[in-house]
C-alpha cells in the first residue's frame, strides 16, 4: 500500500484513540461532529474539529474518577487501607527519589486527598521503618542471586554530599541466562578514615 493511499489518523484518533467519532443525532438541526466518551458514553461536540471539549471531559469525567477510586477500594479491602497506602507511597518515594518528609507537606497531603479520599497518609517514621526493611530484603535478595553467578564484574564510584560525608558505591555486572546482561547496585558504604571532596 502506497503512502498516498494509506489513511492518516484524525486528530481524535491520534490524541484520544479510545474515543469514537459519532454522527450528530437526527433532529438536532446542527451538523456538528461529535465524539463519544469510552467510559460514560456522553457525546461531546467538536466545533470546527476542536478537541477542547474532549480534553475538558477527560479531566472531569465522573466515571473515570469512580473507576480509579473503585480500584483503590478493591485492593485496600484485601490488604487494608493503611497497608496499601504505605506500599503505594514507598514505591513513589523510592522510584522518584523523594525526601521522607514529603508526607508532612500540607500541599502534598492535599494533593493526595484530592486524588483519593480513602488514602491513609503514613507518618514519616513508619515510612522510614518500612523502607529500611525493604532495603534489607533487597540486599539479601541480591546476595542470594549473585551467589550462583560464576563470573561477576565490579565497578566502584566514589561521591560526596554537601555535609562532607563520602560514599563508595559498588555495582555488580553479570550475565543471567534467563534475563541476559544485568547490572545491579550491590553495596553503598562510607569509607573509613578521612575523606576529601573533589
pLDDT at 27: 43
| Amino acid 168: pLDDT | 80
Domain ranges in the chain are 11-60, 77-129, 150-198
pLDDT for res 196: 47
- What is the full per-residue pLDDT of the chain (198 aa) written as tens digits? 444 455 677 888 888 888 888 876 544 556 778 888 888 888 888 877 788 889 888 888 877 655 555 566 666 666 677 777 888 889 899 888 899 999 999 999 998 888 777 788 889 998 999 998 888 888 888 888 888 888 889 888 887 766 677 778 888 888 877 778 888 766 555 555 555 444
> What's 192's DSSP letter?
S
Distance (Å, rounded) from C-alpha 86 to C-alpha 93?
10
What's residue 102's pLDDT?
93
Give 95's contacts (C-beta < 8 A, 6+ positions apart).
none
pLDDT score at 108? 93
Q: Tell me the pTM.
A: 0.46
Neighbours of 177 (CB within 10 A): 5
**Contact in structure between 157 and 151 (CB atoms under 8 Å):** no
Report helix, strand and coil shares of the chain as percent, to nearest 5.
45, 20, 35
Separation of first and last alpha carbons in the chain = 61
pLDDT at 21: 86
Amino acid at each position: 500500500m502506497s503512502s498516498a493511499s494509506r489513511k492518516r489518523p484524525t486528530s481524535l484518533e491520534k490524541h484520544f484513540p479510545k474515543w469514537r467519532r459519532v454522527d450528530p443525532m437526527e433532529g438536532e438541526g446542527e451538523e456538528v461532529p461529535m465524539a463519544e466518551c469510552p467510559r460514560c458514553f456522553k457525546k461531546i461536540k467538536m466545533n470546527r474539529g476542536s478537541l477542547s471539549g474532549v480534553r475538558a471531559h477527560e479531566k472531569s469525567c465522573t466515571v473515570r474518577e469512580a473507576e480509579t477510586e473503585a480500584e483503590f477500594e478493591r485492593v485496600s479491602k484485601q490488604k487494608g487501607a493503611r497497608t496499601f497506602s504505605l506500599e503505594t507511597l514507598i514505591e513513589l518515594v523510592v522510584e522518584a527519589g523523594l525526601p521522607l518528609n514529603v508526607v508532612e507537606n500540607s500541599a502534598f497531603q492535599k494533593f493526595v486527598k484530592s486524588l483519593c479520599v480513602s488514602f491513609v497518609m503514613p507518618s514519616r517514621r513508619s515510612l522510614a521503618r518500612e523502607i529500611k526493611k525493604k532495603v534489607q530484603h533487597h540486599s539479601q535478595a541480591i546476595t542470594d542471586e549473585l551467589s550462583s553467578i560464576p563470573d561477576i564484574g565490579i565497578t566502584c564510584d566514589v561521591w560526596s554530599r554537601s555535609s562532607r560525608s563520602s560514599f563508595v558505591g559498588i555495582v555488580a555486572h553479570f550475565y543471567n541466562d534467563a534475563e541476559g546482561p544485568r547490572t545491579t547496585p550491590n553495596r553503598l558504604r562510607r569509607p573509613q578514615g578521612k575523606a576529601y571532596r573533589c
